């Protein structure tokens, strides 16, 4: 059975370093997630604004379609999927 008290001083330092590395990793992961959510939120707001301002009875113009698709393809998730397909 593993007991924390049985660790030597060197083991204790290695354990603390390991925990610090994990904490930094997950903090960085959470920060990246927050940034991606802000980007997605902005893209959704832009898309909603564009669609609200467009005449809903008429079809989107080619420029409007290109603009809408460019919002989708700017997303980090889409870029990750596209680059994974190319490699």
> Per-residue pLDDT tens for 13-27?
888 899 999 999 999
Asked if residue 6 has pLDDT above 70, the reply is no
Q: What is the pTM of this model?
A: 0.51
pLDDT averaged over every residue in the chain: 77
pLDDT for res 28: 96
Alpha-helical segments (H) within 1-87: 9-53, 62-73, 76-86
41, 71 contact by CB (below 8 A):
no
**8 A C-beta contact, residue 46 and residue 71:** yes
Tell me: pLDDT of 29 over 80: yes
Virtual torsion, Cα 18, 19, 25, 28, nearest 10 deg: -140
69 vs 31, higher pLDDT: 31
75 within 8 A of 40, measured Cβ to Cβ: yes
If you average pLDDT over each of 7-11, 15-19, 46-50, which comes out highest? Answer: 15-19
């Amino acid at each position: 059975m593993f007991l924390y008290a049985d660790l030597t001083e060197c083991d204790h330092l290695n354990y603390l370093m390991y925990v610090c590395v994990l904490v930094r990793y997950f903090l960085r992961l959470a920060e990246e997630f927050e940034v991606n959510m802000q980007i997605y939120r902005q893209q959704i707001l832009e898309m909603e604004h564009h669609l609200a301002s467009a005449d809903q009875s008429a079809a989107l113009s080619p420029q409007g379609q290109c603009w809408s698709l460019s919002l989708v393809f700017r997303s980090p998730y889409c870029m990750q999927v596209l680059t994974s397909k190319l490699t």
